[in-house]
Amino acid sequence: MRQRLVMFAWAIAALPMLAACVITIVPDQGSPQVDRPRPDPAAVVIERFESNRASYRVGDTLSFRIRTNRPGYVTLTAYDPDGRVYVFARNVEVRGNRTETIPAPFGRTRFTVTSPVGLHVVRAHFTPERTPESVVFRGVGSLDAWLAQIVLEIRGFGFGAESVAETRFEVRR
């Protein structure tokens, strides 16, 4: 009983330290690639994720189509040609079993394409509940390190790489 009480006290004391979390991605130092086993088709949550075009010019408006097989939330993170990772849409509600556009066509939010030019990769990851706004993806790294960090965030919801989908597009001047 005393041991449980001590463990509970330590957990309460650690809460303020865990309230804010920053995930920083550092350059790949030759680490092994993330193992990507083929997910069980029954476990796949995001059935479709794509940008509305394959190529954009700086200043163009960008949107994505997504279809999930259940209601929840998606977060969109990007990896630009310079290797920078950033979040640009967090906790976007999806209704499930229908194709939706992000951002909504008649909403106030717009995604505008910016530099750098080159190949941009965007990943959507699904969670059944909102994720903490305090978790930040930032830094320079590899595609595998980026996936590992996303999985780290969603693992607490019981999901893994099978609930991450990716699309790519080119940005030109």
Q: Is there a domain that residue 102 lies in?
A: yes
Domain total for the chain?
1
Please name the residue ranges forming H helices in 19-162: 143-154
Q: Report the CATH number that the domain containing residue 97 is assigned in CATH.
A: 2.60.40.10
How confident is the model at residue 1, as a pLDDT?
56
Q: Give the range of the structural domain holding residue 142, as residue numbers without chain letter.
A: 21-28+38-172
**CB-based contacts of 42, cutoff 8 Å, min separation 6:** none
Q: Is residue 70 part of a domain?
A: yes
The per-residue pLDDT for 36 is 41
What pTM value is reported for the model? 0.76
Locate 28 and state its tokens. 């790949």
- pLDDT at residue 32 in the model: 42
pLDDT (0 to 100) of residue 126: 95
Enumerate residue ranges in the chain where pLDDT < 70: 1-43, 140
160 within a domain of the structure (yes/no): yes
Q: What is the pLDDT of residue 135?
A: 75
